Amino acid sequence: MKLTRSAALLLSSSLNLVGGGVGASEFDQAPLTSNNAANELWTSKYGPQLDLPFTGPLSFAHIPYARCLDDTRHEFDIAILGMPFDTSVSYRPGARFGPNGIRSGSRRLRPGNGYSITWRSDPYAHDVKVIDCGDVPVTPFDNLIAVDQMHAAYATLLARNVAERAAGKPELRATRAFAKDGKEHPRIVSLGGDHTIVLPILRALHEVYGPISVIHFDSHIDTWSPLRYFSPGLTPPITHGSFFWNAVQEGIISNMSIHAGIRSKVEDYGDLERDASSGFALISTDDIDDIGTDGIIQRIRDRVGSGPVYISLDIDVVDPSMAPATGTPEPGGWTTRELNRILRGLAGLNIVGADIVEVAPMYDSNAEITSLAAANIVHEFLSMLQEGAPPSSQRPVKSAPRGGTRDEL
């Protein structure tokens, strides 16, 4: 069959999107022709066609990309999964564009250029298979169907086999101890989407692990009952401010969960009493002034203990001066530096998954500071999931590996 030039270009673009990533991998596609590129001018003079920070298919940090829901061949230890859902918000919509915005904010991250001077490691350089599994095709027209789609997608990937090449890292083989089936399960970092996405995620995790302790970074408690706002007899909707209420009613989270960064106004003190009865302890934003980041870390670790833990992070936990692009911003939040330090202090917990939600890029500054902050948080998640303990300031500094493409001067 002979392809027209336009058809060949279209097919080439489609293959590149599936291939993703930088350099050779099992995700790379076969060339459309049999020409030996090594003998051509570009390759002989400049080498491989590498993606720069501002070029190439849009996967998180230029890692390999696959439509994992369609293709069962790919095993992974950690997956990035977008959930572009935002039709349960109470104020500003737009978080359906969050997965794309976070990936865009990650363009300067890449395998070979992700080494952290704090962690003394590169989360893309371990013997850990990390891939971007694309986005769940969520309907924007029916929330009940959308929630079911997200549950089905998450449960599908959670049931996949883990990769075998990380067998030497016991911290990546910790899920077996908590899984009902006694097997290892991959871990998923989800990109929202509004905060409602956490309910189908917790349902899927509960099917594998039982009740989960949640570490909830947010400026809002999100345990409000929807029954307060809708007539008796009507089926209450699932919203981004009530999904934890649903989770408590369904018995899928433990009573050893905790909020961190809370500062929004509530109706009255009864809201806080009802929140406490839902199994959540509460750390306010202002507590950082009294106990510092180390005190917050200790409170969180003491609260969730040694069972399976899920981390859910609403970008509005960060002060809107540093992360304005969100649906319900609240002044007086933590800085990105304070948040990074707290997250790093949680490494070593039995984290079975994580998410970042409520990034709505259309409200961002021209400098895309929210997308950049969110991408950096995902980078921290990937490090946390691969390290058995928080980074130590006493650890001797290793030399960063040489080579790779850099964009710093």
Q: In this structure, is residue 110 part of a structural domain?
A: yes
Note whether 68 and 157 are within 8 A (CB).
yes
What's the pLDDT at 394?
A: 29
The count of domains in the chain is: 1
Q: Is residue 16 part of a domain?
A: no
pLDDT of res. 186: 95
| Cα–Cα distance for residue pair 35/162, rounded to 1 Å | 36
pLDDT at 20: 39
Give the number of other CB atoms < 10 A from CB of residue 263.
Answer: 18
pLDDT value of position 56:
76
pLDDT of the residue at 174: 74
In this prediction, residue 170 carries a pLDDT of: 61
Give the model's pLDDT for residue 278.
94
Whether residue 176 lies inside any domain: the answer is yes
> Closest by alpha carbon to 217, among 343, 93, 306?
343
> Which 3 state secondary structure label does DSSP give 368?
coil
Q: Model pTM?
A: 0.84
Query: What pLDDT, on a 0 to 100 scale, did the predictor assign at position 45?
Result: 78
10-residue mean pLDDT profile of the chain (409 residues): values are 42 39 40 60 80 83 93 92 93 94 95 91 88 94 93 95 68 81 95 95 97 97 82 74 91 96 92 93 97 96 96 97 96 97 96 97 94 98 93 51 43
Look at residue 151 and tell me if it is in a domain. yes
Residue 190 lies in a domain: yes
Map residue 377 onto helix, strand or coil. helix
Which range of residues forms the domain containing residue 126?
A: 62-384
In a domain, 408, yes or no: no
Residue at 31 is within a domain: no
Contacts of 376 (CB under 8 A, 6+ apart): 105, 336, 340
- 46: its two tokens: 């400049």
Retrieve residue 40's tokens: 């051509």
Domain of 347, CATH number, reads 3.40.800.10
At residue 65, the 3 state secondary structure works out as: strand
The Cα–Cα gap between 404 and 22 comes to 10
Q: Torsions phi, psi of 256, nearest 5?
A: -120, 45
Cβ(375)–Cβ(340) under 8 Å? no
* Greatest C-alpha distance within the chain: 74
Residue at 14 is within a domain? no
Q: DSSP alpha helices (H): ranges in 85-197?
A: 98-105, 143-158
Please report which helix (H) or strand (E) contains residue 340, including its range.
helix 336-344
Cβ distance 256 to 213 under 8 Å?
A: yes
Token pair for 28 = 């790379």
For position 125, what pLDDT does the model report?
A: 84
